[in-house]
Structure formats: structure tokens, C-alpha cells
Structure 1
């Protein structure tokens, strides 16, 4: 037989291999078809069961016998999981709610002099570290990825604007607003703090309840700078100039309602010591009553008379005696 006429026979193992591969391909195709059929069946039955229970609009998906659901309301999560999980053929089911917008951050910062405390939550550890680092406090700031960041970055700037002299100030970031309350020493600090809050959250989202309360030493200076409170000769009756000076004192005290004042009356040595003591007491009482009549709370005031016992200068000339005849305001606040 010539070489051209020779019949080549494949080895037996080749035929067996081809047959096995064919069977595997057929089995895989059948398995895929069965899997798709199971997934379609579970998806259809789950959707029907959810709709029957009043849960509409749910997204249902199965991979094999493992299901995943997205419901339109977080209130339906538990019920949807029970309904689908109890269906025959379902192995596991994972149910989630809709993607929700981040919650508004809620942070409260208290500032009392140089002491700063903070509570609340921010969205990340990096933001927490940045905020607490600038505030100089680790109090109560936690991390919650579900909260938003609006206004958080500007809080430290508000604290910086307050300085270290403000008392009992509260900074609250909540529902997209910043609320400021407490007292600051000057209008300049008040304005700088308000501007920092407006920069952090927007001018229309700031509630400013801050009050300006100068420190006691500044109020004392203002009272000392008043014109002398004068009276008729040897009398507790105020002159016109004396009434005007008391009115100016009332304006200062009404603007600073936390200030407590002692009113002291003093005389020269012209009359007897007994007369001068009584006159000084009567004059300080007249000033007290005039302040109360102007609207100053009586509980903030006290009146004392010292007669000629506390001369400011030697009582040797008319000019010096005029200096010694005086009514003084002594601020009692520490």
C-alpha cells in the first residue's frame, strides 16, 4: 500500500477525551440554564410576595439562591427580609434601604475663658483630628460617617474670634444653622465672632444671641469718668448737674445688668463729724433711689456713708474740700 493510501487512526485516548469534554460542556450548559431558571423563579416569587405585603418598588436580584433587595423605605427593611427569607428555595437574603443624604452635623462647643469643650460627631477621623487639634480639646467629638460636613470646618475660626476673655459662650451647629449665645467683652469681639459664624455656615444661617458685657474694670473706669455728682449746700438734694451725672450712671448700669455697685458718700470737714456722717449716708441713699427710679434693679445697689473719714486730699482749701465732697461708685463684681 502506498503512503497516500494509508489510513491514520487516532489514538483511543483522544476519542475518549473529546467525548468527556462534550459531556462537560453539555452539563455546564444545563447547569447554567437551571441556575437562571432558579434565579428567575425566586425573583418572580419574591417580587409577588413583597407586592402582596404592600411593599412596592423593591429591587430584587438573585445570584443562585442568594438574594439582595433594595426597598424604597428603611421602615420596610426588616419586614422585607422576613418575607423573602421565608420563601422556599431562598438560602440568604440581604436587604438595604435607599441611599439617604447625610445627616446634619450636631456639634456643641462651650467656651469659658481659655477652656474649650466640645461634643458631637463629624464624618471622618481626619476631620475630627483637624477640629480637635485647632480647638485644643479632645472632649466628646466622635466619628460618624453618616453625618455631613457643612459648617464644621469653620467652627475653630469662631472659637479663635472669641479669644480667651469670653464667658459662658455656647456655639451650636445643628440643622444647618449656628447658634451663638453667652457674653463677650466688647463689640469688636462680638462682630468678629458673628462674621466667623457667617463665613462658616452662611450669613442667613446664624442665630446671634451673644451679649456684650465689658469686664468690671472697664465699667469701673466708665463710672469714675463721670462728672461729679453734686448736691445743694449741706443737703441731700441733687443739683441739676448732679441729676445729669446720676442719669449717665444709670445708663451705664442699665447697659450692664450683671454689674453690682456699692454707692459711697463722702464729705469734707466743714461741719461736725456726726452731721457729716448722716449727710454722706443721706446723699448715697439719694443716688441709690434715683438709680432705681431710672430702672436699675434695687438688688444690684447698696449705699454707705463715711462722712469725713476718707478724705481724698487734705481738707485745707476750698478746692480740696470740693474734691472731698463726693459720691463714688465701687463695682463689686470680681
Structure 2
């Protein structure tokens, strides 16, 4: 059999089937996104959340609202829609965590309490402290403030920064649910390892950097890398790391580790890195 005669038609058929499959997959995904968007908007409207935007990437939803509390409530509503795999809440300052929503709710309750008649009623008469007692309290408070100001945060040495960076590099890659910022079970375990390393190096500050592979659009990958980096920061805070020590940044697909030629290469480029910044 002459391979020069047989191979070209075979190659053409294979390439044609691949192109047709790509077109079908793209059309199917767009149909799913359109259907889920319509269903999610209907559910939001029924819940009285008409001022909320919802956008889908596959079966994962990004829900954006004017306030953190509304965003979290809307994300819960969208997450219950049949066919939705994950729902992320975004407020005016970005990705919303449950801590931010709780703080916002507490602030609203405090404001309502201050404005209520009970809060503005005249207080019961209490004993007035003497001038000597007041002076003593003021002096103690001033001494405590002065002591706190006299103890600035210690800057880590170069050796401490280098050791922290070495320990963070040894941490395994953090994994997420496909095409979302939801940590997998193994991903949470790795973040816990990172929190333990940071506890061993309390003086250093770290930037969490998110990276994606090159599958999908640049804009989608950029947003996904930002969401994943911020999700890791939120998880570290829940593990006890001081948020003041952490910053985050997403790089999308712009800085791959390797040129993607195989699925293994794509997996290497999907990563979260820790960069010691001080």
C-alpha cells in the first residue's frame, strides 16, 4: 500500500472532524450559558434582586451586586438554579467572602440601633468618677498607647526572607475545581500547609500570585487567575494568617512556566505561587 496516497485523505478527514467537534462544543457551551443566564435572571427577579448582574463561563456563574450582602444573597439564589455548578459573589470591591458580608450586616445593625428611640433615650444616672480616678485612667491609657507605639514591627532579615521563600516554594501546587475559583479538598490541605509555613515566619509579608493555562480567552483567564489568588488569600486568613501580611495578584496566561505542547504542560502552567515581598 502506498502511504503517500493514503495518508493525505486520512489527515484531511481527521482535521475536519476535529474542527467540526470544536464548533459543536463551542455552540453547545454558548447554548448552556444562555439558558443558565435566563434561568438565573428569572430566579433573581423572583427573589427581588433585580439590580444584580450575572455572567456564566460554562456552568460557573459570576454574580455582581451593588453591596457585598446583596452579592452573597444573589450568589446563593443563582447557586440553587438547576444546572449551575458554582456561583461566586462580587461586590463593589471584588470577590465577597462570608466574613465581609457578616461585617457589613453587623454595621447595618449597629447603625439601626444607634438611630432607634431606645438608643437615644436618656441613660440612667450613674456615679460620676472623681477627678483623681479620671486622671489615673487617662494616664494608664496614655502609657499603654505609648508602649504600643514604641514597639514597631520588626523587619525580617534577608536570611529570614530567603528561608521563608524556600519553604513556600516547596509547597505542592494548589488545585481548584475546573474553570472556577473553588478550592478542591486537596487544594485546601495545601493552603493549610502554606498557613503553617507563614506561622513559622511571622515577620514576612507575601503576595499570592495566580496563573492559568492558555485555554480560553485572555480576559477570562485573567479574571480567573485573580479570583483564584484572592480565594487563596481568603482561605489563609481563615487559617489564622493576618490579612495585613497578604496581597494578591492575577497574571492570567501571561507568564507560563513552559510552552504548552501537551496536557501536562497546561497543568504545569495552572498554578498559584507565593512571593515574599519584604
Same fold (TM over 0.5): no
TM-score normalised by L of structure 1: 0.36
TM-score normalised by L of structure 2: 0.43
The structure in which a higher percent of residues are helix is 2
The structure whose Rg is larger is 1
Greater RCO (Cα-Cα under 8 Å, separation 6 or more): 2
